[in-house]
């Protein structure tokens, strides 16, 4: 379940980048036949306008039997960790960890009540398990190890 949540989170982050297309390369053996000058290939292309970028899909990612690898999990943790580390101390406290888990739970099961006692208990148990050194915070290494256990 947690792996699926991570995969959905990674997909949500990567889909806008994958949705961009590149124009086909011109054929060097067939030069343009118009009187327009050839495009300047030495200067970089302008950055795409954010207003023209297609929105990310709101449909849930299809369920996959392929589990995320520990390397993929580490990349997701590296990318998303600063978003949830509100006090920027390098550790997620229980509230910060809980916010991340609630978002992942809601992404994988939109009908779940993330404020229910059941989900809060689940988050508390997950935090206690992830905090392997019992420091009261979960760092990137602990979180990666925790999420990779089932991979």
In tens, the pLDDT along 5-58 reads 555 555 555 444 444 455 555 555 555 555 555 555 554 545 444 444 344 333
Number of domains within the chain: 1
Residue 6 falls inside a structural domain: no
pTM of the model: 0.55
pLDDT at 29: 54
Domain of residue 97, residue span: 90-151
pLDDT at 107: 87
Helix, strand, coil: what percent of the chain each, to 5?
A: 50, 0, 50
Residue 143 falls inside a structural domain: yes
Residue 46 falls inside a structural domain: no
Lowest model confidence (mean pLDDT) among 74-78, 90-94, 124-128, 147-151: 147-151
In tens, the pLDDT along 93-110 reads 999 999 988 998 888 889
Residue 27 falls inside a structural domain: no
Mind giving me the DSSP string for 72-113? HHHHHHHHHHHHH-TT-SSSB-HHHHHHHHHHHHHHH-TTS-
**Between 1 and 99, the higher pLDDT residue:** 99
Residue 135 falls inside a structural domain: yes
Residue 94 falls inside a structural domain: yes
Give helix 2-19 / helix 94-108 axis angle, nearest 10°.
Answer: 70
In tens, the pLDDT along 110-125 reads 998 989 999 999 999 9
Residue 38 falls inside a structural domain: no
Q: Give the domain CATH number at 137.
A: 1.10.238.10
pLDDT at 137: 95
Residue 77 falls inside a structural domain: no
């Amino acid at each position: 379940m947690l792996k699926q949540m991570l995969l959905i989170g990674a997909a949500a982050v990567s889909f806008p980048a994958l949705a961009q297309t590149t124009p086909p390369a011109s054929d060097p053996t067939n030069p343009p036949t118009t009187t327009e000058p050839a495009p300047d290939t030495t200067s970089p292309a302008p950055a795409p306008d954010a207003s023209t970028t297609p929105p990310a899909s709101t449909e849930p990612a299809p369920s996959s039997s392929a589990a995320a690898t520990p390397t993929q999990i580490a990349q997701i943790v590296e990318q998303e960790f600063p978003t949830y580390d509100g006090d920027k101390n390098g550790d997620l406290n229980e509230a910060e960890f809980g916010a991340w888990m609630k978002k992942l739970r809601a992404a994988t099961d939109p009908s779940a009540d993330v404020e229910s006692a059941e989900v809060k208990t689940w988050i508390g148990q997950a935090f206690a398990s992830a905090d392997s050194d019992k420091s009261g915070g979960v760092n990137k290494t602990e979180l990666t190890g925790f999420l990779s256990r089932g991979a």
